[in-house]
Amino acid sequence: MRLTSFKMVSGLLLVATVLMAGAPVHAQEQGEPRQGVSPETLRMEREAAESRDLQRLAELADDGEALEGALEAAITERDAARERRQALEARHQALQDDLQALEERRQSQGEGLEGVMSVVTRHSSELRDQLAQSWLTLGGASLPDRVDEQEVLEREHIEHLADRLMALNAESARGVRVTYPVADQGGVVEPREVIRLGDVVAFTERSLLRLDGEGSEQRLAMAERTPSSVARQLEAFHAGQGDRVAFDPTRGQVLDALAQQPSLAERFHQGGAVGYVVVALGLLGLLVALGQYAYLLRVSAALRRQVGNLQQLRDDNPLGRVLGRFRALGTGHAPEALEARLDEALLAEQPRLERGQPLVKLLAAIAPLLGLLGTVTGMIVTFQSITVFGTGDPQLMAGGISQALVTTVLGLITAVPLLFAHTALASRSRHLIGIVEGRASAELAEHLEAQRKTEPRVHDTALA
């Protein structure tokens, strides 16, 4: 039986040796042929390798002691492998027993622990998301790690979470001054000195700050619009000269509202071409009104000097020119002719005193109409946008309507001062015309009375 086993092992070793020896040749045959070697050379090399392998097998088969030693070594190795397998099976069984015990323990402790773990995981994640939008991480403690990312929640994770939350709580009562990259309104990022007061506010020298982005992409940026009064308070606090700081309690909603509220210049540009025309016409009307009102004030001063001295007539006022033309007529004219000449002189002076009033009145009437035209065209553009984008965005509609109404506001703002200017011009010119007409009528009456007194004397002298 041992001889049979020996022959069997010898045959197996022979086959294994042949296979091992033939493997390189086979691989070489299947591989790419060497460059520059003919197939005949390769065949000869293969036959030589096979003959060498067969010779080695014959020598090994003739050596019985070597085969016997190889067989004993294989048996010893098999026994060692069997013992290792038994040890591994015993360890596997022990681990299975431990797993079963842990599973029974988990089930015995009930669903309470799982509920606690789920609550801790959920609330810690929500709290971390909220703290990610706070100022506490600016120059202070870092955020805790996410508990929900842990496969098995252990005690160390809970302790780490508690420590980080306590550190963040301590930061909420501190004020720090740090240098941090801050983006201005134009998007330019530069290192700036930033003051953080707890979780309430963070600001630079003259601007409040806001957080942009989320997570690692979170950046500090200046608010698009900080009121001038708030900027002065921040500057004083930054320099250590003030103890008052303004902040946004709504977490940015007020700042966003201020950013969306355009300035006076932005409102003006929202009016577009129609708004520019309205404002240009309004400025033209005001310039004309101011020039004419200055002329009327100068005429009023000259007229007061002329009323104080009617014996010496001047040409720098309408009264002096009217009385000069009237006195140049002389005597011997009929009263109707004198009155007609006086009216002619008054009518010649009236256009100068009322100059510019028709233009100011026209511009005051046109400005609201142009504003209404701009509103109508703006509403047309708004409805065209609604046709394209729909009504799903109320902000789009509100913004378009707001811009459309700007021209109406500009028209009304332009018309109101023009109406006041026209009223002032008309009142001043009527006052001056009334003075000139009154003095001219008095001069005509005196002239007619003097002429009536001289006529009887001439008639008596003629009779004599």
pLDDT tens track for 334-371: 777 777 777 787 888 888 888 989 999 999 999 999 98
Residues 313 and 380 in one domain: yes
Reported as a pLDDT band with limits 50, 70 and 90, residue 462 is: very low
User: Comparing 294 with 380, which gets the higher pLDDT?
Assistant: 294
Which of 63-67, 306-310, 356-360, 433-437 is predicted least confidently?
A: 63-67
Non-local CB neighbours of 381 within 8 Å, separated by 6+ positions: 400, 404
Non-local CB neighbours of 235 within 8 Å, separated by 6+ positions: 205, 206
Residues 287 and 350 in one domain: yes
pTM over 0.75: no
Residues 450 and 355 in one domain: yes
Residues 300 and 330 in one domain: yes
Strand extents, DSSP E, 3-52:
none
Q: What is the pLDDT of residue 417?
A: 93
Range 20-37 average pLDDT: 43
Burial category of 422 from C-beta neighbours within 10 Å (exposed 0-12, middle 13-18, buried 19 and up): buried
Is 41 part of any domain?
no
The string of pLDDT tens digits covering residues 58-79 is 665 666 666 677 677 778 888 8
Residues 248 and 160 in one domain: no
Residues 357 and 302 in one domain: yes
Is 4 part of any domain?
no
- Which whole-number Å values give the CA distances from 170 to 134, 254, 280, in the listed order? 14, 27, 60
Q: What is the pLDDT of residue 258?
A: 65
Is 328 part of any domain?
yes
Residues 370 and 426 in one domain: yes
Reported as a pLDDT band with limits 50, 70 and 90, residue 270 is: confident
Q: What is the pLDDT of residue 209?
A: 84
Q: Which of 256, 282, 304 is the last residue of a domain?
A: 256
- Contact predicate 440/346, CB 8 Å: yes
- How many domains does the chain contain in total? 3
Residues 187 and 327 in one domain: no
Give buried/exposed letters for 205-236 (b at 16+ CB in 10 A, else e).
Answer: eebbbbbeeeeeeeebbbbebbeeebbebbbe
Residues 251 and 323 in one domain: no
Residues 247 and 291 in one domain: no
Reported as a pLDDT band with limits 50, 70 and 90, residue 102 is: confident
Q: What is the pLDDT of residue 9?
A: 37
The string of pLDDT tens digits covering residues 312-340 is 777 778 877 877 777 777 666 677 777 77
Domain that holds residue 330: 272-463
Q: What is the pLDDT of residue 136?
A: 78
187 sits in the region (left: phi over 0; alpha: psi -120 to 50; else beta) called left
Q: Which of 140, 173, 206 is the last residue of a domain?
A: 173
Is 103 part of any domain?
no
The string of pLDDT tens digits covering residues 175-226 is 888 888 888 877 788 888 888 888 888 888 888 887 776 555 668 888 777 7
CA distance 276 to 267: 11
Residues 230 and 129 in one domain: no
Is 278 part of any domain?
yes
Is 341 part of any domain?
yes
Is 78 part of any domain?
no
Residues 356 and 456 in one domain: yes
Q: Which of 224, 256, 288 is the last residue of a domain?
A: 256
CA distance 286 to 273: 20
User: Comparing 290 with 11, which gets the higher pLDDT?
Assistant: 290
Is 325 part of any domain?
yes
Range 275-281 average pLDDT: 90
